[in-house]
């Protein structure tokens, strides 16, 4: 029985020691939690802002949607920006972000967030204006005939797209201007083809040259689209710099920890 008691004794000691440590940690937690709570509240509010920020991206890939779906995503995006602004205002009022390191980190975060909000609102305004012309004229282009009538249709597209190029976002402005120029160039080729007196006879070589110009003009749409896509990705990468957000998040996380 003594052996049994002696073999169990270290276990009892370990359990007792563990209970002492746990008790000490609980006491420590009770002591430091009130001091940490404002940071934890600020961290929770920061996470609210972060979630609202994520919701503002919903309209980015909406260009391929139906008109009804597109309109719904635009409305949702506008509501998301309203929510983002409200959540950020609440974050800025947190006591731990009013002075010292907290204020410095929040100020930098705020600058980045506002730059993103301005950029995204410009994109929303631009896509709402450019998209209808793109959708309509992309369909028109597939059915346009190589004659004066087809050329007239393309001229209308060029005129409408040039009018739609008056938008705040530089990438959409450039895309609209490029497409307008390409539609005008394609219309000119169609007019020249229509003016040939005998496209199947003596003017066959000239027709071949004009068709080569037509193909080249058509390729400019693809080039403009690729340039637009690359520019958008680059500009979003610049705007969505996460360094300031990471530093604020790390600061609030660090200050919120009990241990």
| Predicted pLDDT at 1 | 47
| Predicted pLDDT at 98 | 92
CA 102/CA 130 separation, integer angstroms: 41
CA 80/CA 56 separation, integer angstroms: 5
Predicted confidence band at 183 (pLDDT cuts at 50, 70, 90)?
A: very high
| Predicted pLDDT at 54 | 76
Q: What's the rounded mean pLDDT across residues 150-170?
A: 94
Residue 50, pLDDT > 60, answer yes
* Percent of the chain surpassing pLDDT 90: 26
CA 194/CA 23 separation, integer angstroms: 92
87, 42 contact by CB (below 8 A): no
Read out DSSP for 51-102?
A: HHHHHTTTTTTGGGS-HHHHHHHHHHHHHHHHHHHHHHHHHHT-GGGSSHHH
Residue 71 tokens read as 């309109």
Number of domains in the chain: 1
Residue 219, pLDDT > 50, answer yes
Residue 34, pLDDT > 60, answer no
Residue 18, pLDDT > 60, answer no
Residue 202, pLDDT > 80, answer no
Q: What's the rounded mean pLDDT across residues 175-204?
A: 85
Predicted confidence band at 117 (pLDDT cuts at 50, 70, 90)?
A: confident
| Domain enclosing residue 36, as ranges | 2-256
Predicted confidence band at 170 (pLDDT cuts at 50, 70, 90)?
A: very high
| Predicted pLDDT at 5 | 46
pTM of the predicted structure, to 2 decimals:
0.74
| Predicted pLDDT at 166 | 94
Residue 36, pLDDT > 70, answer no
């Amino acid at each position: 029985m003594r052996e049994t008691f002696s073999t169990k004794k270290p276990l009892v000691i370990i359990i007792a020691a563990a209970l002492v440590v746990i008790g000490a940690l609980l006491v420590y937690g009770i002591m430091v939690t009130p001091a940490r709570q404002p940071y934890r509240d600020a961290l929770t509010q920061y996470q609210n802002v972060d979630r609202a920020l994520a919701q503002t991206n919903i309209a980015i890939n909406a260009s391929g949607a139906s008109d009804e779906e597109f309109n719904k995503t635009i409305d949702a995006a506008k509501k998301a920006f309203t929510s983002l602004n409200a959540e950020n205002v609440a974050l800025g009022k947190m006591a731990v972000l009013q002075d010292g390191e907290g204020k410095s980190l929040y100020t930098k975060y705020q600058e980045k967030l506002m730059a993103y909000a301005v950029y995204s609102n410009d994109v929303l305004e631009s896509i709402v204006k450019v998209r209808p012309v793109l959708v309509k004229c992309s369909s028109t282009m597939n059915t346009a005939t190589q004659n004066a009538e087809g050329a007239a249709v393309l001229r209308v597209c060029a005129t409408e797209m040039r009018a739609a190029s008056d938008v705040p976002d530089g990438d959409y402005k450039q895309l609209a201007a490029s497409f307008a120029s390409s539609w005008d160039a394609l219309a000119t080729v169609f007019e020249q083809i229509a003016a040939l007196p005998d496209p199947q006879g003596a003017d066959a070589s000239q027709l071949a040259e004009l068709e080569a110009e037509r193909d080249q003009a058509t390729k400019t749409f693809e080039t403009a689209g690729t340039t637009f896509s690359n520019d958008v990705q680059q500009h979003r990468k610049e705007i969505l710099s996460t360094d300031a957000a990471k530093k604020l998040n790390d600061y609030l996380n660090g200050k919120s920890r009990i241990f």
